[in-house]
Structure 1
Amino acid sequence: MRTGHAFLATLHLLSLTQCASAWFYLDKEWIGEAFFDGWDWETENDPTHGRVNYVSQADAMSKNLSYVEDGQFFMRADDVSIVDTTARGRDSIRISSRDAWEEAIFVLDVEHMPAGCSTWPAWWTLSRKGPWPNGGEIDIIEGVNLNVENQATLHTTPECQMPPDYLRQPQSGTSLNTDCDTSVDNNAGCGARFSNSGPSYGKPFNENHGGYYTMVKSPSSGIQVWFWPRDSPDIPTEIRHGVSNETTIYPTWQWGEPAANFPMLKDYCDYHDHFNAHRMVFDLTFCGDWAGNVWSTSGCGPTTCVDFVNNNPSAFSEAYWTINSLRVYTPK
């Protein structure tokens, strides 16, 4: 049995490096003012039932919730207003890319993420074709309340499971649930907690001036997420500085172990059955299906989550994204 396990683990390690045979070229780049093009500011009701009012691009800019300063792109929640109990929620931002990618490398240089009680920020991708969960969802950055460790998670239609832990390596994160099916375990999905990745989320992340998140989405290698803190000496040059249109990039063992590794092995989770072209999403909601449901154990005080959001505007002074750059690379 040990021999069999070792053989399968070797096969998986080979699959992780297969995408080295595919060269990826810069497809899209957003820095500063470029974020105001190519994205939709969504204003519908929050599908996760948060105490939030997503505003349009025009409203976000007029209210100084979306802006550029010193070349950095900011998205923030309102931190000055008491929210009326009859209102939809606290003003905030949700944007989705107009483009979608079947196979790509996504590289985000983020200096600050929303943090604090009731917050539920995320950078994630989902199927453009849908409807959800058809085509899958990949949560790259996500957490709630006072969390200090990031969690990356897949959410899919049935018959997508991660293989046993000995097949999931190499990864530095801690494996969570292995069934990605949204109808299982209250849509917990299958995920990895970034337990050994340095300051990957929340207040510690912001105090360290953030870092670099990279997600690879590929039929040949599956889905992996890497994270490097801002002060890490191991940040690859192409991640830190990006590459030009004439230069190529590819993910291999040279980047080190991913924090989260989701192999798409056919007997467990066939990529083409569960994932297709994905759009990117940034959002910041409050309370809702996750942050609200764990409020009582969050250490955030005796009030209810909704009351906290309504009546404590100054508590949201740290509820903002600061993004230095976002790049997407695709094979040609």
Structure 2
Amino acid sequence: MAPSLLAIGTAALALAGDAAAKQFVLDDTYDSTNFFDKFDFFESRYGTGDYNDVDLTSGYINYRTRADAQKLGLISNAGGEVYLGPDAHNVTEFPGVGRSSVRLESKAIYNKSLMVARFSHLPKPVCGAWSAL
């Protein structure tokens, strides 16, 4: 015999009561005042003979330090906004050092989390798109 809507509804309400009783606590806030302090910048190291020192995903890239990224305009935090982007001005020659970009690795480790984020702009989801969130 198929379960009735009343039985399903009762079970759903019982489970919802437990979920509603749980409280979320804000542990961290990432904004333009502290965003870059919350991450380590992975730096590509050419010349070691191990391509994992350049990029763990084998991309044609040149990950830059925080200082380099700021000088090159790859990162900024102005007007309450955080900007991250690849070098969109220079042409790279293959073989050689790949396009300059940033790879951020969180300093914090979370076992379970609910993350809420607002993005002003993300690249279109096309082949070769840069975003890896």
Q: TM-score range by the shorter chain?
A: 0.7 to 0.9
Unaligned runs of 5+ in 2: 44-52
Once residues 10 and 52 of structure 1 are traced to their aligned partners in structure 2, the CA distance between those partners, rounded to angstroms, is 54
- Across the aligned residues of Structure 1 and Structure 2, the Cα RMSD in angstroms comes to 2.8
Task: Output one character per residue of 1:57-93: Cα deviation in whole Å (capped at 9) or x when no partner.
Answer: 1111111101012110000010111112122421112
Of 73, 86, 92, which aligns to 2:95? Answer: 86
SS at match of 1:108: coil
Structure 1 runs of 4+ aligned residues shifted over 6 Å read: 7-14
Q: Is the 8 A contact 1:114 1:121 kept in 2?
A: yes
Q: 1:85 to 1:109 in 2, by over 3 A?
A: same
Equivalent residue number for residue 67 of structure 2: 58
Specify which structure has the bigger relative contact order, considering alpha-carbon pairs within 8 angstroms and separated by 6 or more residues.
Answer: 1
Equivalent residue number for residue 118 of structure 1: 128
Q: Which has the larger radius of gyration?
A: 2
Of 57, 63, 82, which aligns to 1:73? Answer: 82
Of 37, 41, 54, which aligns to 1:45? Answer: 54
Q: Is the 8 A contact 1:33 1:73 kept in 2?
A: no
Letter in 2 for 1:42: F
Letter in 1 for 2:131: P
How far does residue 35 in structure 1 lie from its aligned partner after superposition?
0.9
Q: 1:17 to 1:95 in 2, by over 3 A?
A: farther
Q: Give the TM-score normalised by structure 2.
A: 0.74
Q: Is the 8 A contact 1:76 1:93 kept in 2?
A: yes
Once residues 13 and 121 of structure 1 are traced to their aligned partners in structure 2, the CA distance between those partners, rounded to angstroms, is 39
Once residues 62 and 80 of structure 1 are traced to their aligned partners in structure 2, the CA distance between those partners, rounded to angstroms, is 14
Once residues 8 and 41 of structure 2 are traced to their aligned partners in structure 1, the CA distance between those partners, rounded to angstroms, is 45
SS at match of 1:25: coil
Letter in 2 for 1:78: D
Q: 1:85 to 1:108 in 2, by over 3 A?
A: same
SS at match of 2:34: helix
Equivalent residue number for residue 35 of structure 1: 35
Task: Output one character per residue of 1:210-259: Cα deviation in whole Å (capped at 9) or x when no partner.
Answer: xxxxxxxxxxxxxxxxxxxxxxxxxxxxxxxxxxxxxxxxxxxxxxxxxx
Equivalent residue number for residue 24 of structure 1: 24
Unaligned runs of 5+ in 1: 124-332
Aligned residues: 121
Q: Is the 8 A contact 1:113 1:121 kept in 2?
A: yes
